[in-house]
Structure 1
Amino acid sequence: MYPLARSFLFCLDAERAHHLGLKALDMAHRGGALPLLGAPPAPMPVRVFDLDFPNPVGLAAGLDKNGAHIDALMALGFGFVEIGTVTPRAQPGNPRPRMFRLAQHQAIVNRLGFNNDGVDALVRNVERAQRRGGLLGINIGKNKDTPNEEAAADYLHCLQRVYPLADYITVNISSPNTAGLRELQEEQALRQLIGTLREAQEALGARHGKRVPMLVKLAPDLSDNDIDAVARVLGDLAVDGVVATNTTVSRMGVESHRHAHEAGGLSGAPLMGQSTKVLRRLRARLPQEIPLVGVGGILSGADAVAKMAAGASLVQCYTGLIYRGPELIGECVEAIRRRRYAPSRGPVAPE
């Protein structure tokens, strides 16, 4: 059914289609019609961050910013669903239009700008969710009008609010759509921010009687020297994991498209090579006990396998789900399963 639904949705403005698609997904879930979109994958348990995931394929942050569709998304068969990015206070994001399809490239440009209803609304939604199936990650950020020198307070507020409810938490310092945010990836700023959050994480663990893993999400546009510096800081601070990567400001490979000039982050197939390159370099420089989540450009099972071959323990998709539909989830799980249980194999090169 998904190709028919996609044909209709692609006739609409991208952001309107986004909201309509989520509403339709909720209705299908409540009406028991989700199997029409395809059967969820067979279990493939993996243990990462001291958590047990039903399978290693997850949904990246950004699709469900407010955590309003958790149960329907989990019912598609994801091993984990990451909601957010959420900020302390509600904010509208950037002016519309702010999402653009580059269909022939299987890509999207967005400059949404952390549009969300605020962390209190997200907490209420999570508390109502039944959360059957996969694990839940919550992605946190700062408000647009919060200067970087005060960013830690925003991240701390969100961390404290979502800590009791999350299976893991991701610190987003890599979106290109909040002015200055990526400056928090600079070595000294990163050490100060993540050091502060690590201290809070340990205190919250003692208070709540459980340790919730904290991951850091990075940009694909870092130079090799910047990647090395980031890996050094995150290794020193012993973060629980790294998500590689967010969207890119590059337009390499899509320069001729009519939407290539639009400001924002590019996701989808053109991101695959660069995001996997960053993933591979991080794996070579981070301590082995820090797992990586590979995201960016996954539109097939082969892409998911390439991320695993580059060093990922888990993978996430988002834009691929828009273009391929829920069948992509099972395809990725099965491709990773075949790779894991192949009797003999050489290195799997990214495509």
Structure 2
Amino acid sequence: MYSLLRPALFCLDAEKAHHAGLRSLEFAHRSGLIGLAASKPAPLVTSAFGLSFPNPVGLAAGLDKNGEHIDALFALGFGYVEIGTVTPRPQAGNPAPRLFRVPEHMGVINRMGFNNAGVDALVANVRRAKRNAGILGINIGKNKDTPNESAHTDYLACLEKVYELADYITVNISSPNTAGLRELQEEQALRDLVSRLRDGQENLAARLGKRVPMLVKVAPDLSDADADAAARVLGELQVDGVIATNTTISRSGIEGHALANEAGGLSGAPVMARSTAVLRRLRTRLPEAIPLIGVGGICSGADAAAKMSAGASMVQLYSGLVYRGPALIGECVDAIRRRRESPSSGVAHL
């Protein structure tokens, strides 16, 4: 189905195509035609963060910011779906146009700016979802007009509201599209923020009798020293997991392209090498007990296997779906399955 739909979507502005694709997916799901979009992969159960995932291939945050299409996305065969990024208050995000395809390089540039309907709308959507399969992650952020010194209040507000509904929660401090957000990755700022959130997490666990894992998502643009400092802080504070990585502000790989000067984060194939390098460095510096999710540039099963070889326990897709469609999910699951079954692959990261 996607091979038939893609030419029509690519005739549209990228953001309009994004919404049209989600509407088509929802229609296919509600009408029982979702099997035409993709065949669900055979299970490949994976354990991480104290959770059991049907398979290790998930959807990265950003596609379904408000949690409006959870059941339809699970029906494609993802082992887990991450919705958001959500902020305490609704916000429109940055002015359009703000989403651009770079098809010659299988890349996407976005400067969306955490556009979302606010955490209360997301919570209502999650409550309506059937969630018959898979693990649901909720990605939280801060509002654009909240200063960094008060950022913890936004993150804690979202944490409190989504805690009971999420299987895991991701703290997004790595989007390049909210001014100053990445400053929260600096060592002392990171320590202050994550310490407060870890306290909030443990208080909620004690109060509600349910401990929900909390992950932190980092940027691919960290220097080696910054990556080492982040690993040190996140290891000392015993976060449940790390997602490596978000989009990049670099234009390496698309130099000279007509869109290379567009502001925003670059994702897709051009970020694969840098994202994987950061993943590998974090794996060698984080305690083994803290699993990593590899995301950034996965456009084939081989890319997914490369993330696993670099130390990921699981992977996430997003921009690769724009170019490959839902068939990429099963291809990645199968590649990871072959890697696990190969005697030369060593001990699998589970």
User: What's the TM-score, normalizing by structure 1?
Assistant: 0.98
Is residue 341 of structure 1 aligned with residue 341 of structure 2?
Answer: yes
Matches within 5 A, 1:1-351: 1-345=1-345
Q: Which amino acid aligns with 1:330?
A: G
User: Hey, what's the Cα distance between the residues in 1 that align with 2:126 and 2:322?
Assistant: 24
Q: Please report how far the alpha carbon of residue 134 of structure 1 lies from its aligned counterpart in structure 2 after TM superposition.
A: 0.9
User: Hey, what's the Cα distance between the residues in 2 that align with 1:21 and 1:208?
Assistant: 38
Tell me if structure 2 keeps the 8 A contact 1:77–1:133.
no
Q: Please report how far the alpha carbon of residue 290 of structure 1 lies from its aligned counterpart in structure 2 after TM superposition.
A: 0.3
Q: Which structure 2 residue ranges, 5 or more long, are not aligned?
A: none
Cα displacement string for residues 237-265 of structure 1 (whole angstroms, at most 9, x for unaligned residues): 00000000000000001011111100000
Q: Please report how far the alpha carbon of residue 281 of structure 1 lies from its aligned counterpart in structure 2 after TM superposition.
A: 0.1
Partner-residue secondary structure (3-state), 2:267: strand
Q: Which amino acid aligns with 1:331?
A: E
Q: Which amino acid aligns with 1:198?
A: R
User: Hey, what's the Cα distance between the residues in 2 that align with 1:345 and 1:217?
Assistant: 27
User: Hey, what's the Cα distance between the residues in 2 that align with 1:298 and 1:152?
Assistant: 32
Cα displacement string for residues 273-326 of structure 1 (whole angstroms, at most 9, x for unaligned residues): 000000000000000000000000000000000000000001000000111000
Q: Please report how far the alpha carbon of residue 345 of structure 1 lies from its aligned counterpart in structure 2 after TM superposition.
A: 4.3
Aligned residues with identical type, % of pairs: 72
Q: Which amino acid aligns with 2:92?
A: P
Tell me if structure 2 keeps the 8 A contact 1:269–1:298.
yes
User: Hey, what's the Cα distance between the residues in 2 that align with 1:37 and 1:275?
Assistant: 29
Partner-residue secondary structure (3-state), 2:254: coil
Tell me if structure 2 keeps the 8 A contact 1:75–1:132.
no
User: Hey, what's the Cα distance between the residues in 1 that align with 2:181 and 2:136?
Assistant: 24
Question: How many residues end up aligned between the 2 structures?
Answer: 348
Cα displacement string for residues 96-124 of structure 1 (whole angstroms, at most 9, x for unaligned residues): 00000000100000000000000000000
Partner-residue secondary structure (3-state), 2:210: coil
Root-mean-square deviation (CA, aligned residues, Å) is 1.1
User: Hey, what's the Cα distance between the residues in 1 that align with 2:66 and 2:179?
Assistant: 21
Partner-residue secondary structure (3-state), 1:344: helix
Q: Please report how far the alpha carbon of residue 208 of structure 1 lies from its aligned counterpart in structure 2 after TM superposition.
A: 1.1
Tell me if structure 2 keeps the 8 A contact 1:248–1:271.
yes
Q: Which amino acid aligns with 1:106?
A: M
User: Hey, what's the Cα distance between the residues in 2 that align with 1:54 and 1:108?
Assistant: 28
Q: Please report how far the alpha carbon of residue 38 of structure 1 lies from its aligned counterpart in structure 2 after TM superposition.
A: 2.2
Partner-residue secondary structure (3-state), 1:100: strand
Runs of 4+ in 1 over 2 A off after TM superposition: 343-348
User: Hey, what's the Cα distance between the residues in 1 that align with 2:215 and 2:266?
Assistant: 22
